[in-house]
Amino acid sequence: MTHLRLYTDGGIIGSNPSAFGGTWAAIILPWVDEDDTPADNDDIVWFDSGIITPDDIGANKVTNNQTEFLAVLKGLEGVPRDCHILHVYSDSMVTLGRIFLEWKLSNIPDGWYKRSQQAMLHLGQVESTLLDGHPTKAQLEDGTGKRGSPVSRWNVWCDKECGRLSKLMKEAEGW
């Protein structure tokens, strides 16, 4: 595997910021064609998802920006060592700016940025694309969201996984 795609999303349980926590999801897929056309198949290389609570980060609340950052971080840490080119897709401009453009790290837990940079050390080339989040069915078919950015069924998959985890947490808490 030399060329992979990483899709991520993060969410909040309840309102933002959340005293209950948040969710994150990441999935890595192959890039198949020589002309850099994404694979149409569902060959999943790796995926993971989880819940993060305020206690996990030593804070009173968890923000959406923290869950979005954690999703990309966990995804980067899940990239196989034989990946030479990685393309990261996220619907969070703030997260992409923080990881790839050295934007301010306001409210990002200590060590997360360093972990993200360390996870990329073994990669040759890393590119990123900002996606439009929450596309309609028509936008997915067209490939373009309401703001003109690309959309992806894999970002939708990550969003649904975050929603599934949020629902589980709410049920566990008796909401």
Domain of residue 137, residue span: 3-172
**What whole-number distance in Å separates Cα of residue 82 and Cα of residue 72?**
19
DSSP string, 131-160: PPSS--HHHHHHTB-TTS-B--HHHHHHHH
**What whole-number distance in Å separates Cα of residue 39 and Cα of residue 153?**
12
Assign residue 46 the CATH number of its domain: 3.30.420.10
b/e 86-125 (16+ beta carbons within 10 angstroms → b): bbbbbbbebbbebbeeeeeeeebbeebbeebeebbeeeee
Locate the DSSP E strands across 3-45.
3-12, 22-30
**What whole-number distance in Å separates Cα of residue 171 and Cα of residue 133?**
26
**DSSP 8-state code for residue 73:** H
**Cβ–Cβ under 8 Å, residues 13 and 50:** no
Q: For the chain, what is the domain count?
A: 1
pLDDT in tens, 77-118: 999 988 999 999 999 999 999 999 999 999 999 999 999 999
**Cβ–Cβ under 8 Å, residues 138 and 163:** no
**What whole-number distance in Å separates Cα of residue 168 and Cα of residue 175?**
10
Task: Read off the pLDDT of each residue in 7-12 and give the average, rounded to a whole number.
Answer: 98
Q: Mapping DSSP to helix (H, G, I), strand (E, B) and coil, where does residue 48 land? A: strand
The answer, yes or no, to whether residue 160 has pLDDT greater than 90, is yes
The answer, yes or no, to whether residue 145 has pLDDT greater than 90, is yes
Is the pTM higher than 0.75? The answer reads: yes
pLDDT in tens, 11-47: 999 999 999 999 999 999 998 665 545 555 568 999 9
* Sign for the pseudo-dihedral over CA of 81, 23, 140, 149: negative
Average per-residue pLDDT in the chain? 93
Residue of 79, 76, 132, 72 whose CA lies nearest to 97 = 72
